Amino acid sequence: MSEFHRKIERNTMRFVLAIIVVASIGGIVEIAPLFTIKSTVEAAPNMRVYTPLELAGRSIYMREGCYACHSQMIRTLRDEVERYGPYSLAVESQYDHPMLWGSKRTGPDIARVGEKYSDAWHVAHLYNPRDVVPESVMPAYRWLLRNELRIDDLPGHLRAMRDVGVPYTDAMIENAAKDAFGQAAPESDAAVGVTERYGAATHMRAFDGNAGRLTEMDALVAYLQIMGKLTDAAQKTEQTKIGE
């Protein structure tokens, strides 16, 4: 062994190539098949994409670093399923660029928090968590209610998402800004066409309680309320992997 190694360690290029080859094997074996083996991601034909407003909310979720304390991945363990709901399937995050599975639960998992609490609860909780959960250590996000949501760049965001593989249609991209406003102002003209493009079950309401003004709070609450609701694949799949 030593003789062989002495040859390698006397030649820079040989050494560099050896490192690249040896280090590449693990990643190639573990990652490449995930794109090719079909059973990796379950089928969910009825799954819908994020509306522009929800996508904007997701960006705010990322901007504020929520992933540092909240996971979005319920493991196949009995206590997790009983605490949070059916364990997460791969397909549920197939439109998540990037995924936000998280690695730490300083706060609870929120993969299935959608529709679990009212909009008003979320607004109050985000404005000051300790108003509704006295023991909470979550930061207060008061500026979400102050900041108006920027929507003029949303077509660009949807287009980038389409570039990485999310099936947004031309109509969705074209109407992105209008749809974002309309989803949170169901009585307005802008609301026309939102459910047509994103499905009848789309939440159409003033998430922050004020339909006249579109705030970052609207977007974030819209995102939280759709969490775990893009597809019902997890509810329909028998939970056979628990404890495995």
Query: Contacts with other proteins in 11-30 (CB under 8 A)?
Result: 12, 15-16, 19-20, 22-27, 29-30
187 lies in the binding site for other proteins (CB under 8 A): no
Footprint (CB under 8 A) of other proteins, residues 212-241: none
The single-letter code of the amino acid at 64 is E
How big is the site for other proteins, counted in residues (CB under 8 A)?
A: 90
User: Minimal CA–CA distance to 72: which of 239, 223, 203?
Assistant: 223
Sequence-separated (6 or more) residues with CB below 8 Å from residue 171:
197
For 182-213, letters b (16+ CB in 10 Å) and e give bbbbbeeebbeebbebbeeebbbbbbbeebee
Q: What residue type is 149 in one-letter code?
A: L
- Neighbouring C-beta atoms of residue 165, cutoff 10 Å: 9
Residue type, 138: M
Residues 91-120 contacting other proteins, CB under 8 A: 91-109
Residues 160-179 that bind other proteins (CB under 8 A): 160-161, 163-166
Least distance (Å) between residue 13 CB and other proteins: 8
CB of 189 to other proteins, least distance (A): 27
Sole binder of other proteins in the list 136, 210, 237, 239 (CB under 8 A): 136
Tell which one of 48, 53, 86, 88 touches other proteins (CB under 8 A). Answer: 88
77 binds other proteins (CB under 8 A): yes
